[in-house]
Amino acid sequence: MLPGILLDRDGVINVNRPDHVKVWEEFEFLPGVLEALRALSQLDLPIAVVTNQSIIGRGLATQAAVDEINARMIERVSEAGGRLDGVFYCPHSPEVHCTCRKPQPGLLLEAARALGLDLSRSCLIGDAMSDVQAALAVGCQAVLVASGRGAAQHALVEEAGISSYYLARDLQDAVAWVYDRFRPEQN
Ligand SMILES: [Zn+2]
């Protein structure tokens, strides 16, 4: 079992649109993200995306559209010299109360099963309190980036009294933290 790096998608990898990313044309990489993912890929650890995509359950996008967006994202990352080893998403609307919508840890467990990850030695980089909560629920280290909904979410996390996470400016900053933390411990 390996440590792995889990990433939220919207607000971490791409611009978080208030009207959601429903088609590939609405997907816009945040500045510096492709370079950050290339650097992260050199660590030789599994990298997976874990993302809530309730737009499917709400009827705003089809599963096929979300799959296409994810496939194209993987392709672009790969063209830029990086890699994403898996994308796991929750398609449910919040009303369903599923076990995979973050802050529930179901997606993290699914990624761990698929990629053979030891979550207690892994980390999740996200832009929302629900990411931090999902990570801590399974003993994963949490990194909150301020690039998406970060500032407002940071306030929520503080109000909730959660302090065991690292606050990063953006994915580049988070990757630098991951390097410090994971490179010496690799294998
Ligand atoms: Zn779900």
Give the tens place of pLDDT for each residue, 24-76: 999 999 999 999 999 999 998 999 999 999 999 999 999 999 999 999 999 99
180 Cα: distance to centroid of ligand 1 (angstroms): 33
For residues 101 and 95, is the Cβ–Cβ distance under 8 A?
no
Percent of the residues in the chain that have a pLDDT greater than 90, as a whole number = 88
55 Cα: distance to centroid of ligand 1 (angstroms): 11
- Strand ranges, E, within the chain: 5-7, 47-52, 86-90, 123-126, 141-145, 166-168
13 Cα: distance to centroid of ligand 1 (angstroms): 21
For residues 27 and 72, is the Cβ–Cβ distance under 8 A?
yes
pTM over 0.85: yes
List, by residue number, the catalytic residues: 8, 10
| 99-125 confidence digits (pLDDT tens) | 999 999 999 999 999 999 999 999 999
39 Cα: distance to centroid of ligand 1 (angstroms): 31
N residues, the chain: 187
54 Cα: distance to centroid of ligand 1 (angstroms): 8
Cα separation of 143 and 162, whole Å? Answer: 12
- For 17, 34, 137, 167, the CA distances from 75, given in Å and listed in that order, are 21, 11, 31, 29
Per-residue DSSP letters for 93-122?
-GGG--SSSTTSSHHHHHHHHHHTB-GGG-
